[in-house]
């Protein structure tokens, strides 16, 4: 983050009439920088983002139909009312601060709350929202993860380290990347961001994980979804696909997955059938999220010239299984409601 950008974010997050001070940096990544001053958060969105699409997403997040589901943005001085631009065209937004999910207390993770919020989001009629509603960006993000993997391997060059643990894992990062590429090639075009999804009429979050929930008001308010950068029309199963993929790869306990799925169904969620095995609805999105996760894991390991760790190896293994048993990522037995 550059000093001018930090200064802009500090001014944006400062309470009205209060002197501008150095804010707390909550996140600083290439795709987004977030700072906090007291009860206000300011965010610099991805430099290559489309401000018009973001403005549409902000209007949706502020709409009364989304109250109690999405954290609403705070107004800023600018032509749209909810975003302003830096001199180089990067979008900046302003938000109320909410308390995140505690990272050191997995038993308190609000899986059922996340499921209920998704069910409510998926029930919103897009025709009642300010439009046009942009497409959900989940598949496009998966495609960018593959591009990042290819770039990282090209930049790394030379031999790369093998995994620390033995077993049926690819023996090097290039071999791991090849397993990811093969799994990617098996996905249908819509899951690779190359065509519209067959079910595209649902308002989706697009990047659901526990880091996308906060309590607002902070500390003890209700849980709300945050980060609307990928919000839009698509297949609602994509929002369930990350926990589904974690469950299928052994990274999420079966009882947690069962609670999450049951909470979604009980709240009237429409992305999966109301009972029985949900996997026919989740298979393709879960594969895509697994490939995305594996691609980013291999890219990060290549950039750091280190082996894959145990969790990274698990998702690469899942990609390898997809290519050897292309009709199954799902667990061995059906998951019923």
Helix, strand, coil distribution of the chain in percent, nearest 5 = 45, 15, 45
Last-in-domain residue among 96, 123, 149: 96
**Beta strands at 202-204 and 232-234: parallel, antiparallel or unpaired:** antiparallel
Instruction: Let me know if 44 is exposed, middle or buried by CB neighbors in 10 A (0-12, 13-18, 19+).
Output: buried
One domain for residues 157 and 222:
yes
Of 50-59, 156-165, 224-233, 306-315, the range with the lowest mean pLDDT is 156-165
Q: Give residue 105's pLDDT.
A: 75
One domain for residues 232 and 300:
yes
Q: How many domains does the chain have?
A: 2
Global pTM reads 0.89
Q: Give residue 171's pLDDT.
A: 54
Percent of the chain residues past pLDDT 90, beyond the cut: 74
Q: Give residue 155's pLDDT.
A: 79
Q: Let me know if residue 220 belongs to a domain.
A: yes
The per-residue pLDDT for range 145-196, each reduced to its tens digit, is 999 999 998 876 644 444 444 443 445 889 999 999 999 999 999 999 999 9
One domain for residues 226 and 287:
yes
- The answer to whether 235 and 271 have CB atoms below 8 angstroms apart is yes
Check which CATH number belongs to the domain holding 61 and give it: 3.30.200
- The answer to whether 23 and 42 have CB atoms below 8 angstroms apart is yes
Partners of 41 in the beta sheet? 36, 95
Report H helices in the chain. Answer: 3-13, 51-62, 111-122, 138-156, 173-186, 237-248, 254-266, 279-304, 310-324
Check which CATH number belongs to the domain holding 211 and give it: 3.90.1200
Structural domain that includes position 189: 138-324
């Amino acid at each position: 983050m550059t000093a001018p950008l930090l200064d802009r974010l500090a001014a944006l997050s400062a309470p009205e009439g209060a002197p501008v001070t150095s804010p707390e940096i909550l996140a600083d990544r290439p795709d987004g920088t977030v700072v906090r001053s007291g009860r206000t958060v300011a965010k610099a969105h991805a430099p290559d983002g489309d401000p018009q699409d973001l403005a549409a997403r902000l209007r949706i997040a502020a709409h009364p139909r989304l109250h109690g589901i999405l954290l609403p943005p705070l107004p800023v001085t600018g032509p749209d009312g909810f975003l302003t631009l830096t001199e180089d065209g990067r979008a900046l937004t302003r938000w109320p601060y909410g308390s995140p999910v505690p990272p050191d207390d997995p038993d308190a993770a609000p899986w059922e709350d996340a499921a209920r919020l998704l069910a409510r989001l998926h029930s919103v009629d897009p025709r009642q929202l300010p439009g046009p509603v942009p497409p959900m960006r989940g598949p496009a993000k998966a495609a960018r993860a593959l591009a990042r993997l290819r770039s990282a391997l090209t930049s790394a060059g030379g031999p790369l380290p093998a995994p620390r643990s033995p077993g049926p894992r690819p023996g090097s990062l290039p071999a791991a990347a090849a397993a990811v590429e093969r799994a990617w090639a098996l996905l249908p075009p819509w899951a690779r961001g190359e065509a519209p999804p067959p079910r595209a009429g649902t308002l989706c979050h697009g990047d659901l994980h526990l880091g996308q929930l906060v309590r607002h008001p902070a500390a003890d308010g209700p849980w709300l979804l945050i980060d609307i950068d990928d919000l839009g029309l698509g297949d609602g199963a994509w929002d369930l696909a990350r926990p589904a993929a974690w469950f299928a790869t052994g990274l999420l306990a079966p009882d947690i997955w069962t609670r999450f799925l049951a909470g979604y169904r009980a709240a009237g969620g429409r992305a999966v059938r109301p009972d029985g095995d949900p996997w026919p609805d989740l298979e393709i999105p879960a594969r895509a999220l697994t490939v995305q996760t594996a691609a980013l894991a291999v890219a990060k390991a290549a950039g750091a010239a280190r082996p894959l760790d145990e969790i990274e190896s698990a998702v690469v293994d899942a990609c390898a299984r997809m290519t050897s048993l292309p009709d199954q990522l799902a667990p061995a037995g059906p998951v019923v409601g």
